[in-house]
Structure 1
Amino acid sequence: MSGQLPEFYFRVRENGALVFRVDTENRQRRIEMDQIAAINIKNGEIKPQGNRDLSEDEIKAIQDWMAERSELLAQRDIDDIHRAVDYLNLTTQWAQSKASAEQLDDVTDDLLLAMHDLRSVLVRKKADRLMKANS
């Protein structure tokens, strides 16, 4: 463990995090974590816990973490999409070279519907972007 612990710990959860102040300056030299806030990344909400009023430094640290977290999640989203393209290519290769008739029967309808849905959305979004660009 490194010698210096951060001032705040963010316990990630589905839509944000719980924020704890980390304290090692106590008699027992134990790590204590005091929950100071709950945050929601999607709507930017910061809820102080208990009867606490957050200081400007605490709010700034939380907002900085939220910005970094939002950027990380956006990077992960696009990474997932690039992986999906790879999976589509691997699926195509599998269907062409390895899949049995039974395996193809098992997945063909689901794949065709999913690909049709994706194609419809992509075509509509591209048309919208082209229309905006030409306006």
Structure 2
Amino acid sequence: MADKLPEYYFRVRENGAFVFRLDTENRQRRIEMDQIAVLNMRNGEIKAHGDRNLSETDITAIKDWMNERARTLAHREIDDILRAVDYLNTTTHWVQSRATDEQLEAVTDPLLLAMHDLRSTLVRKKAARLTQD
């Protein structure tokens, strides 16, 4: 573990985090985690935990973390989509080279429907972008 711990710890949860202030300045040198807030990434809400009052330093640290988390999630989202392109390519190779008739029977209709839905949506969105210009 690093010599110096950060002042805050963010326990990620779906669409937000619990915010803890870390303290190692005690007799046992144990890490104490004191929950100070709950945050919601969807609406940007920061709620102090219990009867706590958040300082400007707390608010700034939380907002900085939220901004960084939003960048991380946006990057992951694009990365996931690009991985889906890779999966489609490997699926095509599998269908062409190794799939059995039984396997193809199990996956063909769901794949065709999903690909049709995706293609229709992509074409509609592209047309909308082109007509905006």
Structure 1-normalised TM-score?
Answer: 0.96
Q: Which moved more, 1:25-34 or 1:7-16?
A: 25-34
Match of 2:3 in 1: 3
Indicate the SS of the match to 2:118.
helix
Q: Which runs of 4+ in 1 moved over 2 A?
A: none
Q: Map of 1:4-83 to 2, 5 A cutoff?
A: 4-83=4-83
Match of 2:89 in 1: 89
Q: Unaligned stretches of 5+ in structure 2?
A: none
- Equivalent-residue separation in structure 2 for 1:53 and 1:126 (angstroms): 48
Letter in 1 for 2:128: D
Percent identical: 71
Indicate the SS of the match to 1:52.
coil
Deviation of the 1:94 alpha carbon: 0.8
Deviation of the 1:27 alpha carbon: 2.5
Letter in 2 for 1:49: H
1:6-62 CA-to-partner distances (Å, cap 9, x unmatched) read 000000111110000001112322211100000111111101001111111100000
CA RMSD of aligned residues (A): 0.7
- Equivalent-residue separation in structure 2 for 1:125 and 1:42 (angstroms): 24
Structure 2-normalised TM-score?
Answer: 0.97
Letter in 1 for 2:36: I
Q: Does 1:125 align with 2:119?
A: no
Indicate the SS of the match to 1:3.
coil
